[in-house]
Amino acid sequence: MSTDPFALFDQWFAEARASEINDPEAMALATADGSGRPTVRMVLLKGQGPEGFVFYTNEQSAKGEDLADNPRAALLFHWKSLRRQVRTEGAVDRVPDADADAYFASRARDSQLGAWASDQSRPLENRETFEQRFEEMKRRFEGKNVPRPPHWRGYRVVPDRIEFWLDRPHRLHERRLFTRNANGWEEGLLYP
């Protein structure tokens, strides 16, 4: 058995990139607001390593507001082609602004403009309003680099639990649970 859940994740993620037809980096992100009301949505993994799992979003979105109230989250990766999933839970930190700037600069220009045009998670009167705002941003930044909006940032889920689930015949699945303690990671098994 491995004692490094990130090495195991990297191995599984590489296999998912080779076998998943669409978006092997897609992950379900579960958050809860200050009153404990949970929500879940799909986001894309944009970085991973011993520090945690990184994604980017508008901090004024529903998920951003949840994380401001309750900076803990759970992630779920489901790789159907491999019949595997990885669940993780932990505290959430913001990534450094320099990292968010670098990732934002790597995005397609239309995605950058969309980040400026969208009041993510807010009510939208009609699609035309959003499209007009997008066109306004195109004019505003014409001939210029598009800077990262001040409300757009990265978050890192710093796990204290990571579970690797592997499908087995007859629902005799394999579940390996890594739990962080003062000395690093402890591994155990769970009944399916």
Give the chain's largest Cα–Cα span. 60
Q: Is 171 a catalytic residue?
A: yes
Please identify which of the residues 94, 161, 171, 180 carries the catalytic annotation: 171
52-58 and 26-32 strand pairing: unpaired
Burial (Cβ within 10 Å: 0-12, 13-18, ≥19) of residue 133: middle
Catalytic residues: 171
